[in-house]
Structure 1
Amino acid sequence: MTLAEFLPLFLFAAVSTITPGMSTTLATASGAHFGFRRSLPLMAGISLGLATMAVAAAAGLASLLLAQPSLQFAMKALGSLYLLWLAWKIGRSGPPHLDAKVIRPTGFLAAIGVQFQNPKGWAMTLGAAASFAALASGPVELATLLGLTFGVTAAVSLMLWCLAGLVLARLLRSAWQWRLLNGALGLLLAASIVPMWL
């Protein structure tokens, strides 16, 4: 595969992962409240989750999950409840706790679980598996290609969103500014659930 053949896949993954959604909202909120270093498990979990979804899409597992309505409904319901709980926590939180040791950001395993509930992630990876299958000689090569591409682009995108949250933490000083930001991030996260049910 040449660079010219790979470039469309890379651009698709880069644009898909950097656009706002539930994962980028979580990374921004985590950066604002916990800083970059303490947000690394969240970003690593989301990135690995998306890479795993891409591998599953290439292997055909996503089609199996989508064909099971009861399993799909259960995943949506549990994912929605968890995301609403996170949105509530973000929306009601105060100024950041960048140096706090007691308050913990979303962990690695929870971040993987959140990513598996992300309809945008499934749409991206399923679309990529269908659109770019010709780049690989078989399902294993396609799974490796998609997994690496989506994992790396997601990691870079989430780092940028996390840094944006960290910058906001440095700029915002008053309690009302934090209430406004936290309320907006909470609403964005809650709104990201809507496409899951459409």
Structure 2
Amino acid sequence: MAIATASFLIFAASQVGTPGPANMALLATGARYGFRAALPFVCGVVLGKQLVIWPVGYGLMEGAARVPWLFEVLKYASAAYICWLAWKVAHLRLAPGQRAEDAPGFLAGLVVHPLNPKAWAMIVAGFTGFVATGTPTFEATLAIALCLLICQLVLHPIWTFAGDRIAHAVAGRPGEKYLMWTLAGLTVASVLFVLFGGGTH
């Protein structure tokens, strides 16, 4: 097969379902604002990955190979932005049921994956590891895009709902601040793992 679709689906599920900057943001948003209020943000996060997949499929990585320093700058700028978000999470205090209009919306979610090093790594790994040389660009990109979309539609809401449930369990209790610092720490750790120790995973 030109595209190892079944194998990539397993790989994609393992990546989308494990802790990373996006899932930590979803968990924290669900915890802070509740599952329903966070849904526009979830939709933005899901669709935002398409903003990375299609340019990569149509040659962004080829361009990056010609100007490698620019890609490195973008990678570390993205990591810095997500670490800044983690700092904000660390200082949040949970407020289940807070008004929906206060929650981050679709546009806020849309930028999460374009600024997420793990998303870039898994997408590049998808094209380089599961697509045969010579596969038509549209066919390869569509397959990668659909596989990741399916995984996100299933797994991203689960992370958000988990945050909502955690918030109801610890909000207003002594362990609340430790939870938020833990979420922030996991976010930073996931970014550092991708940048320095995780290869394409």
Alignment TM class, shorter chain as reference: 0.7 to 0.9
Whether the 8 Å contact between 1:28 and 1:161 is mirrored in structure 2 is: yes
User: Is the Cα contact below 8 Å between 1:47 and 1:155 reproduced in 2?
Assistant: yes
The 1:38–1:94 alpha-carbon spacing in structure 2 relative to 1, beyond 3 Å, is same
CA contact (8 A) 1:45 1:109 kept: yes
| 1:99 partner letter | Q
Task: Point out 4+ residue stretches in structure 1 off by more than 4 angstroms.
Answer: none
The one-letter code of the counterpart of 1:84 is C
CA distance in 1, matches of 2:145, 2:25: 21
Contact 2:48 2:111 in 1 (8 A): yes
User: 1:23: which partner in 2?
Assistant: 22
Identity of aligned residues (%): 28
Offset at residue 137 of structure 1 (A): 4.7
Give 1:185 deviation, angstroms. 0.7
The amino acid of 1:87's aligned partner reads A
SS of 1:175's equivalent in the other structure is coil
Name structure 1 gaps, 5 residues minimum.
none
Q: Is the 8 A contact 1:24 1:158 kept in 2?
A: yes
Which one has the bigger helix percentage?
Answer: 1
Equivalent residue letter for 1:172: V
Aligned match for 1:121, one of 97, 113, 119:
119
AA in 2 matched with 1:30: T
Give the secondary-structure state (helix, strand or coil) at the position aligned to 1:116: coil
Contact 2:24–2:187 (Cα < 8 Å) also in 1: yes
* Matched-pair contact (CA < 8 Å) for 2:38–2:103: no
RMSD: 2.4
Moved more, 41-50 or 130-139: 130-139
Secondary structure at 1:114's aligned position in 2? coil
TM-score normalised by L of structure 1:
0.84
